[in-house]
């Protein structure tokens, strides 16, 4: 009820207000799905404070976490049509709308931290930003979210490929879920906020999320086992309505962009530190954790990466191979 009320209020508000005077306050409403305790949410909250400081209070970023303003699937149309100014998403939520955005989430393709650090500003990032621009949104910043996934379950740990047989598991989208289907699982794609209830109700047998989200969403209360693997990278991002953004006073736009660049860099080490702490927390809270070995990772990669790349290239015959090529070309040193 609260979310519907807020979204209705956003729609009723003039979508793209112009500056009435040089001193007029600018409001940037930013919707996202992450719970306040998630490291993405914390970095976005710090970004809002940084914008306020850099603009001497002239730009206020109003952050609505945990789907308070709009559901995850409502954010893109909301921003594109100007119902609110900005939103955050994880890259794989674009699914088939912008299939190239799935490239970092191809299993075992892009999980080296040294290369991930060089992603913002890279040719790969610029290529994906161009795809977003074609969908009438402007990418503001990239927020590295994870390179460590956790496969959770109650019945038994998921270690061997045979453990996936017949397993109803949380999927990401129709494209990347080819990896799970290839090993006999039955993936069901759903946003992160819906997974806990699905696990508790039996709609799902197993979860799949980033290791830090397993803590912030309290998976340790509902799942016994977790296998941590360098399965893929998730790179979240914040995007804005282009007409609103281009209509800002240059000083206001500069303040937002400078805060965004700082947030991108801050997020890198925060994500790494949060993942390290999450592993400790999950064990302390009673989950039995298995960290995937290099040999196990190679076995999973051999079975799970090829079907996703095949589907990826079929879905995006031009952009797909280019996105993969650009990610692979990012140097590690």
Q: In the prediction, which pLDDT does 2 show?
A: 54
pLDDT, average across residues 114-131 = 98
Q: How confident is the model at residue 173 (pLDDT cuts 50, 70, 90)?
A: confident
Using CA atoms, how far apart are residues 68 and 65, in angstroms rounded to an integer? 6
Structure-token match 């879920």, residue found: 177
pTM: 0.87
Report pLDDT digits (tens) over 244-290.
Answer: 999 999 999 999 999 999 999 999 999 999 999 999 999 999 999 99
Q: In this model, does residue 5 exceed pLDDT 60?
A: no
* E strand intervals along 22-148: 26-31, 59-64, 86-90, 138-146
Phi then psi for residue 145, to 5 deg, are: -105, -40
Check: CB of residue 276 under 8 Å from CB of residue 146.
no
What residues form DSSP beta bridges with 240? 86, 138
Q: How confident is the model at residue 95 (pLDDT cuts 50, 70, 90)?
A: confident
Q: How confident is the model at residue 227 (pLDDT cuts 50, 70, 90)?
A: very high
Q: Is the dihedral of CA 124, 145, 100, 142 positive or negative?
A: negative
pLDDT, average across residues 218-231 = 97
Q: In the prediction, which pLDDT does 6 show?
A: 56
Structure-token match 């991108």, residue found: 264
pLDDT, average across residues 52-68 = 97
Which is more confident, 232 or 5? 232
* Tokens linked to 169: 């598991």
Decide if 6-13+25-144+234-273 and 149-232+276-329 have a common fold: yes
Q: In the prediction, which pLDDT does 216 show?
A: 86
Collect all residues with Cβ–Cβ distance below 8 Å to 183 and sequence separation of at least 6.
161, 164, 165, 303, 304
Distances (CA, A) of 169 to 5, 36, 66, 158, 275: 33, 25, 22, 11, 22
Q: In this model, does residue 21 exceed pLDDT 50?
A: no
Q: How confident is the model at residue 82 (pLDDT cuts 50, 70, 90)?
A: very high
Q: What is the DSSP string of 112-125?
A: -HHHHTT-TTSHHH
Q: In the prediction, which pLDDT does 14 show?
A: 45
Q: In the prediction, which pLDDT does 59 show?
A: 98
Q: In the prediction, which pLDDT does 10 show?
A: 53
pLDDT, average across residues 150-172 = 97
Q: What is the phi-psi region of residue 2: left when phi exceeds 0, alpha when psi lies from -120 to 50, beta otherwise?
A: alpha
Class of domain 149-232+276-329: alpha beta
Using CA atoms, how far apart are residues 49 and 164, in angstroms rounded to an integer? 44
Q: In the prediction, which pLDDT does 3 show?
A: 56
Q: In the prediction, which pLDDT does 105 show?
A: 95
Q: In the prediction, which pLDDT does 18 show?
A: 39
Collect all residues with Cβ–Cβ distance below 8 Å to 86 and sequence separation of at least 6.
28, 29, 30, 31, 61, 79, 140, 238, 239, 240, 241
Q: β-pairing, 59-64 with 149-153?
A: unpaired
Check: CB of residue 264 under 8 Å from CB of residue 141.
yes
Domain ranges of the chain: 6-13+25-144+234-273, 149-232+276-329
Pick the closest to residue 262 from 274, 251, 254 (CA basis). Answer: 254
pLDDT, average across residues 40-61 = 97
CATH of 6-13+25-144+234-273 given 3.30.470.10, 3.10.580.10, 2.60.40.10, 3.40.190.170: 3.40.190.170
Q: What is the DSSP string of 210-224?
A: EHHHHHHTTGGGT-S
Q: In the prediction, which pLDDT does 100 show?
A: 97
147 CB burial (10 A radius; 0-12, 13-18, 19+): buried
Q: In the prediction, which pLDDT does 19 show?
A: 36
Q: In this model, does residue 327 exceed pLDDT 70?
A: yes
Percent of the chain clearing pLDDT 70 (strictly above): 93
Collect all residues with Cβ–Cβ distance below 8 Å to 1 and sequence separation of at least 6.
none
Using CA atoms, how far apart are residues 239 and 318, in angstroms rounded to an integer? 24
Report pLDDT digits (tens) over 99-110.
Answer: 999 999 999 999
Report pLDDT digits (tens) over 284-322.
Answer: 999 999 999 999 999 999 999 999 999 999 999 999 999
């Amino acid at each position: 009820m609260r979310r519907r009320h807020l979204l209705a209020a956003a729609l009723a508000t003039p979508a793209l207000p112009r500056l009435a005077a040089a001193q007029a306050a600018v409001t940037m409403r930013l919707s996202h799905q992450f719970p306040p305790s998630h490291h993405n949410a914390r970095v976005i909250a710090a970004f809002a404070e940084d914008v306020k400081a850099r603009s001497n209070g002239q730009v206020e970023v109003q952050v609505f976490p945990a789907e308070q303003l709009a559901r995850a699937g409502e954010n893109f149309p909301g921003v594109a049509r100007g119902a609110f100014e900005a939103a955050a998403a994880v890259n794989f939520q674009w699914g088939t709308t912008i299939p190239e955005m799935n490239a970092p989430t191809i299993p075992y393709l892009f999980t080296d931290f040294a290369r991930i650090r060089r992603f913002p500003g890279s040719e790969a990032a610029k290529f994906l930003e161009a795809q977003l621009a074609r969908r009438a949104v402007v990418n503001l910043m990239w927020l590295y979210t994870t390179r460590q996934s956790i496969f959770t379950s109650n019945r038994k740990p998921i270690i061997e490929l045979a453990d996936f047989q017949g397993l109803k598991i949380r999927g990401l989208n129709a494209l990347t879920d080819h990896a799970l289907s290839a090993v006999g699982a039955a993936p069901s794609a759903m946003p992160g906020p819906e997974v806990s209830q699905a696990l508790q109700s039996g709609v799902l047998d197993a979860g799949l999320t980033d290791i830090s989200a397993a803590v912030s969403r309290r998976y340790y209360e509902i799942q016994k086992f977790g296998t941590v693997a360098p399965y893929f990278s998730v790179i979240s991002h914040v995007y804005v309505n282009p007409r609103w953004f281009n209509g800002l006073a240059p000083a206001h736009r500069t303040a937002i962009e400078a805060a965004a660049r700082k947030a991108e860099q801050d997020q890198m080490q925060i994500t790494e530190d949060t993942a390290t702490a999450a592993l400790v927390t999950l064990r302390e809270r009673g989950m039995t954790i298995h960290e995937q070995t290099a040999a196990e990772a190679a076995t999973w990669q051999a079975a799970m990466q090829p079907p996703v790349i095949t589907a990826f290239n079929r879905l995006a015959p031009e952009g797909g191979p280019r996105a993969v090529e650009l990610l692979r070309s990012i140097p590690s040193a």
